[in-house]
Every structure is written in C-alpha cells, then in structure tokens.
C-alpha cells in the first residue's frame, strides 16, 4: 500500500514538472508606414494565393537554426495563427496599401475578376541569431485569367533584431512581408503602367 502511494506521488510530481506554463502566442501585425509615397499601378482588382512556407516553418513554434544548422523550435513562444495564414493576412493588408486596389485572398467569390494574381512561395522562414528573421523565396505575378506569367521576382534577405525576444522576430517578419509587398507592387507597376 505504501509503495503505491509513493508511486502515485512520484507520478504526480513528474507530470507537474514536465508541464510548465503554456507557450506565449504572438500575433503577426502589419508594419504601419506613415505615408505611401509610391505611385500605385493602374490596377483595381488582385487575387492573392495563400503564401506557402517550408514544412519546418509551418509548425506554430518559432523555428531557428542552431550552430550545427539543425532546426530547433522554441517551446515558450509560438505563432497565434499558422504561419502561412498569418503571413498571407499581413501580405494582403500591405498589398491593399501599396496598390490602393481590392486584394482578395483565394478562393475569391464568384464574379470577382482580378486583373492579376500574386503567388508567394517562401523557401526560408527562420529566426536568425540576433532574433530577427531570414526570408527567401519567390513572387510570381500572373495575369488574372491565369494564362500569362507577368513577372517572377526572387528575394533573399535578413531582417536583424537587437534581442531574442519573440516580439523582435514578429516585427522583423512583418517588415519582411512589407518588403515583399513592395516588390510585388513594383512588378505590377512596371507591367500595368508601361
């Protein structure tokens, strides 16, 4: 009887030690530019495909690389949304700002006829050593009917941070998404304003 009581106490102790506080959840918010100084392209309707991210980055925990280049995950901080949904949401917000056009995330409603479609594929989305983010991938601009490739732009950049605090990572990601939206707007401007 005494041994069962000890086993139960040890089991409760092990379970309580293994489960710490739940991880903090962080919401990706858009970067707020005070003034849009760009000349928007002559376009009114855009369709945005959901952003694709690498499999390792689709985990809601923050992904980093250690010194041996292995992916490691933060157990105390995670995305509030799935990374692909969060980045798509913020990208749509920034595209609306830079394009001054209607931007709807696919699937779009019946009767919506976009003049262009934007697809963004991230090949890399990882927290870098200073707490910022490494981003690389490709932006594809396609005609609204899907029949013509308008432009393809690749990107690879690092947004550094001054701290490993997860907030710094999400601010860096938002700044990177802002950069991607500017690149897409530039590609559309070159095509539709020429």
Helices and strands, number each (H, E), in the chain: 3, 8
* Cβ neighbours of residue 45 closer than 8 Å, sequence gap 6 or more: 101, 102, 104, 112, 113, 114, 115, 144
Question: 9 lies in a domain?
Answer: no
CATH number for the domain that contains residue 152: 3.40.50.10610
Question: 25 lies in a domain?
Answer: no
The predicted-structure confidence for 22-67, as pLDDT tens digits, reads as follows: 889 999 999 887 666 667 778 999 999 999 999 999 999 999 988 8
Residue 58: per-residue pLDDT: 92
d(CA 161, CA 151): 31
Question: 21 lies in a domain?
Answer: no
Q: Which of 97, 191, 100, 115 is nearest to 152 (CA)?
A: 191
Question: 2 lies in a domain?
Answer: no
CB 112 within 8 A of CB 59: no
The predicted-structure confidence for 94-121, as pLDDT tens digits, reads as follows: 999 999 999 999 998 999 999 999 999 9
Q: Does position 10 have pLDDT exceeding 50, yes or no?
A: no
pTM of the full predicted structure?
A: 0.86
Q: How many domains does the chain have?
A: 1
Q: Which of 95, 91, 22 is nearest to 53 (CA)?
A: 91
Question: 26 lies in a domain?
Answer: no
Question: 149 lies in a domain?
Answer: yes
Question: The tokens of 115 are what?
Answer: 């003049």
Section 77-88 average pLDDT: 96
The domain in which residue 170 lies consists of 42-192
């Amino acid at each position: 009887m005494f041994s069962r009581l000890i086993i139960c106490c040890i089991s409760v102790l092990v379970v309580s030690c293994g489960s710490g506080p739940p991880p903090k959840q962080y919401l990706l918010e858009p970067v707020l530019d005070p003034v849009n100084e760009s000349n928007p392209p002559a376009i009114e309707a855009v369709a945005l495909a959901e952003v694709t991210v690498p499999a390792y980055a689709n985990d809601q925990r923050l992904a980093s690389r250690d010194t041996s280049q292995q992916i490691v995950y933060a157990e105390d901080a995670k995305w509030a949304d799935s990374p692909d949904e969060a980045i798509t949401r913020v990208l749509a917000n920034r595209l609306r700002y830079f394009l001054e056009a209607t931007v709807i995330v696919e699937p779009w409603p019946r009767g919506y006829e976009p003049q262009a479609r934007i697809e963004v594929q991230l090949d890399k989305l990882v927290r870098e050593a200073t707490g910022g983010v490494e981003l690389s991938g490709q932006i594809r601009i396609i005609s609204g009917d899907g029949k013509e490739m308008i432009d393809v732009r690749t990107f690879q950049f690092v947004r550094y941070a001054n701290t490993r605090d997860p907030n710094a990572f999400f601010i860096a990601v938002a700044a990177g998404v802002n950069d991607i939206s500017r690149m897409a707007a530039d590609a559309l401007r070159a095509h539709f304003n020429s």
